[in-house]
Structure 1
Amino acid sequence: MKKFANLAAGLVLTAALAVSVTACTPTKNNPAQAAAQSAHDHEPSTTPDGAAVETVDGAEEKKNMVVTEDPAVTVCVYSMKDDHSGLKQNMDTIDGEELDAQKLIDKMAELGVLEKDIKVNSFENKDGVLTLDLSSLEKKDDRLLLLAISNTFVQNYDAKTLKLKVDGKEVGEMEFVKKWKEISADQLK
């Protein structure tokens, strides 16, 4: 009985091997298909703007590179949870090649953190100490809002502290709060 089992297993293995070898065997090339593919490989192609593209060893080298995306900076903006029970983190982008305080304030307004039309009167980054003077801030007594502004600026500018002013009057100096996920509005009072 043992011999019969070994013989059956051997036949199954041989059949499987024959099928796999047949599947891997290359087929004969069709001369017409090979000629058409060769002609296609040597055709000059163009980019959407009409610039010629040369093919060299399968790699396309563009004579005139087309850049379709405008430069943008990825930023982290902190905002209040919908029920105002704490903060949440939002990743977004602002246009431009480098970080800009006014654009960061505009992004915070776009995300509903700040009211619209707040202007940056002045902004300074000196040795990791940021000084931000805003034209207005309706809820400057809202400590959760101040924490959102502070964490947003300190993180994005990789700073130590933020001195916040509203129309020249100092509101306070704040540091980044690492436990922003765990903090609530009640803890800030």
Structure 2
Amino acid sequence: MLSDPSPIRPAFRLGVFPVRLAHFPGEYEIVRSVGQCFEGDSMPRSARSFPVRLGITLMATTLALAACGEREPTATEAGATLKTHILKLLKEVNAQNIQITDPGGKDIPCGDDKFKRTFAAIGQDLAPERTASGLNEMMLSALKRVAEYDLVSIGKPDDVGDPMEMVSKPSKTSLILQSSIDGQYSVRGETQCLNRL
């Protein structure tokens, strides 16, 4: 606990506001009353206490980090990422005879001068008798080795193969694991609505 301060003495004037310093033995000088922003370098160096300097430094660092935050990908960049994720996913489950069913590459308008891109592909499983839902579950497991995706929904009970929707916040992409034919993987995806450039 701080000891009683010595008598308050005028330190300097700031515009029309007097600024007084209270002195505590062994402690930094504490500004007792402050009017407006200090003009120029009128504040005594001794009054620029460590807590004040530390606060200014932390504030400047926070603003710098915010300014240097990660840039949101464009629709083109996210579309390229989407294509990579889908093809890598099919490779992870060892799909054969991969065929691209939606090559994407087109900017699809979605309002507010934003655009999205799509991509889709299918591939054959080594075991043609494997059920569609089993294939979707295999892709779900393999996706962890491809990129960071979260499961957000599973298809309705009457949907063939129990399609699963996955979303990746970092890459601004989403996937639908939608195998509906035994022995055939099927996955499609799209980006979020993003700037074209």
Q: Tell me if TM exceeds 0.5.
A: no
TM-score computed with the length of structure 1 as normaliser: 0.24
TM-score computed with the length of structure 2 as normaliser: 0.23
- Report the structure, 1 or 2, having the larger helix content: 1
Q: Which has the higher contact order (CA 8 A, sep 6+)?
A: 2
